[in-house]
Amino acid sequence: MKSKSLWINATLLIVSVTCGFLIAEAVARVFIEPPRGHALYNVEQTEAHASLLKIISDAKLLHRVAPNSPGHDVRGFRNTVSWEDADVVAIGDSQTWGVNVRQEETWPSVLSRVGKVSVYSMSLGGWGPLQYEVIAAEALLLKPRAVLVGIYFGNDIFDSCNHAYGTDAYPQYRHVGAGPAAALSDLHARLKVTDDQTRVDRALQRLTEMGGMARLWQRLARHSLIVQVLMTHGLLPVIPSVDELYEMADTVWARDHPAVASVYRWHNGSTVMTYGYRGVAVDLANGCIRDGVRITREVLDAVKRLGDRTTTQIGIVFIPTKESVYAIADRSLRTHMPKGFEDLVRNETTIKEELLDHCKRTHMVCIDAAVRLVEAAQKGMVLYKADSDGHPIAEGYRQIAYAGQDALEAMRAFRTR
């Protein structure tokens, strides 16, 4: 009888502690953000990102996600609902697809909430302006009032050249002569040098060397905010998260390669700037990049013509590099930038101004998301991860969504008819 009573008491204690922990976890997730360098496991985010490793080839788009892949709809796009029609269609690359965040945190999803409109995302990493033109024609089948195209300066100008001259899918955009093709080979060689992938191998090696118990704690932290908080305060073994391992590897790499990267720190955060890599993708001294600007202009014209044949309005959201956001936001950073950093900011600004001027001359609504992102950075908001990743995190995508809303307002796409 006594042993039965002890068993009942022990069971009640375990149940009480478990329930208390689950309640504390639920409350914590409402009021507390994960500590810096940590993120909570999310099924949709994990499955959607995993689907990017299983893309299929496509004659018009080069590649796309297979229909009904985890985290994607029947058309192979990252949406919770496969709309038959939509108020707005958002087109873009990984910056629009939403690397680093859940589907509900991508800028098209945030735009649907803040703008109170239905937004359908047709985007994928690795796409560029030439794919956007193809997708824009598909988007019009949804009869949207507006199509927003996200142009990311971190690689879209390069993609225009790379896809025109590095593949046989878009010969109509090529110029006669071997100049751009030869210049493209130079770009590929430089990109390989400025983006040393051995640091990724070092981070993964560190993860392997951590041991089974450390990896168990790391896994627990991925699923529990309480565990993350206790770790950060030293009340549980302090095990670096996968993000922190990448940050450590990137920080060491940046310290050893100041000509192409550096760590930028401010009062409540830091991030690794990869101006060497991003700078190659906007290097106007390279003939292929110069032709990439020309191709991008022509794509904007082609997309506008598609819209002009219907009642759909076309708008562009220019998405800046992380490096240029902080260079504009922090004057002190501009006073001691390495030459590679200066070149990146100057070339990106020149390209942006040329495209904005083209938009003005062709009566096309084009919004610079840098305005929103810079303002947020100056307020101390954390917009990007601490490592070298150029994709925003949730707050960064939120600011891009606000820029998208600015574009819709400028187009007056939803004024009363």
Q: pLDDT tens across 223-262, in order?
A: 676 766 766 666 666 677 778 888 988 998 999 999 999 9
Summarize pLDDT for 323-363 with one digit per residue, the tens.
999 999 998 898 888 999 999 999 999 999 999 999 999 99
Q: What pLDDT was estimated at residue 223?
A: 66
pLDDT exceeding 90 applies to what percent of the chain?
A: 65
Q: Do the beta carbons of residue 303 and residue 224 sit within 8 Å?
A: no
- Distance between CA atoms of 51 and 371, rounded to whole angstroms? 33
DSSP 392: B
Q: What is the pLDDT of residues 271-293, one digit of tens each?
A: 999 999 999 999 999 999 999 99
Which residues lie below 8 Å from residue 388, measured CB to CB, with a gap of 6+?
246, 250, 253, 254, 261, 272, 273, 274
For residue 203, the model assigns a pLDDT of 73
Q: Which of 219-223, 253-257, 267-271, 369-373 shows the lowest mean pLDDT across its residues?
A: 219-223
CATH tag, 43-196+276-411: 3.40.50.1110
Indicate whether 416 pLDDT > 50: no
Q: What is the pLDDT of residue 417?
A: 37
The H or E element spanning position 63 is strand 62-65
- Pick from 155, 94, 96: nearest CA to 120: 96
Element housing 313 (H / E): strand 313-319
For the chain, which residues make up each domain, given as ranges?
Answer: 1-31, 43-196+276-411, 198-256
Residue 149 vs residues 312, 375, 400: alpha-carbon distances, Å: 13, 22, 12
- pLDDT value at position 178? 64
Q: What is the pTM of this model?
A: 0.87
Rounded to whole angstroms, the Cα distance separating 24 from 20 reads 6
Q: Both ends of the chain: CA-CA distance in Å? A: 79
- As a whole number, mean pLDDT of residues 372-399 equals 97
Q: Which amino acid is at 321?
A: T
Characterize the bridge pairing of strands 55-58 and 62-65.
antiparallel
Residue 395 pLDDT > 70 = yes
Q: Where are the beta strands (DSSP E) in 225-295?
A: 262-266, 269-273
SS3 412: coil
The CA distance from 14 to 21, in Å, is 10
- Going through 142-221 in order, the beta strands assigned E by DSSP cover 146-152
| Residue 31: exposure state from Cβ atoms within 10 A (0-12, 13-18, ≥19) | exposed
Of 319, 373, 346, the residue nearest 129 (C-alpha): 319
pLDDT digits (tens, 9 = 90+) for 85-106: 899 999 999 999 999 999 999 9
Determine what percent of the chain is predicted with pLDDT higher than 70.
83
Query: Residue 1 pLDDT > 90, yes or no?
Result: no
- For the record, the structure tokens of 381 come out as 């908001």
- Helix (H) / strand (E) containing 51: helix 43-51
Give yes or no for residue 40 having a pLDDT over 70.
Answer: no
Compute the distance between CA of residue 275 and CA of residue 278 in angstroms, rounded to an integer: 5
Q: Which phi and psi (to 5°) does residue 265 adopt?
A: -120, 145
Q: Which residue, among 246, 359, 371, has the nearest Cα to 304 in the 3D structure? A: 359
Closest by CA position to 315, among listed 182, 119, 170, 125: 119
Q: How far is CA 115 from CA 101, 141, 311, 408, 409, in A?
A: 20, 22, 20, 9, 9
**pLDDT for the residue 363:** 97
Model pLDDT for residues 151-208, shown as the tens digit of each residue: 999 999 999 999 999 999 999 999 877 688 889 999 999 988 777 667 677 777 777 7
Beta strand pairing status for 88-92 and 146-152? parallel
pLDDT at 241: 77
How far apart CA 246 and CA 61 sit, in angstroms, is: 31
Structure tokens of 28? 């914590």
